[in-house]
Amino acid sequence: MQFFLCVIGMVLFIEGFPYAAFPAKMQHWIQKVLEMPPTALRGFGLVMMLSGLLLVYIGRG
């Protein structure tokens, strides 16, 4: 459970850092994401999920 909490904490830190460090650029980036078609977002999300699973597999192996 401690490892899980550590991982969640690191994810929250990594996700929150750009918003704290570069708020104007993040607003611009979010606007670009809103303009993307749903199929592109779905593909990007699937690639990110598979990359994450691969990293977990490598890290645990």
In a domain, 18, yes or no: no
- pLDDT score, position 6: 92
The H-or-E segment that residue 37 falls in is none
How many domains does the structure of the chain reveal?
Answer: 1
Q: Which residues of the chain have pLDDT under 50?
A: none
Q: Whole domain around residue 57: which residue ranges?
A: 25-61
In a domain, 30, yes or no: yes
d(Cα 35, Cα 32) in Å, to the nearest integer? Answer: 5
In a domain, 51, yes or no: yes
* 26, 34 Cβ separation under 8 angstroms: no
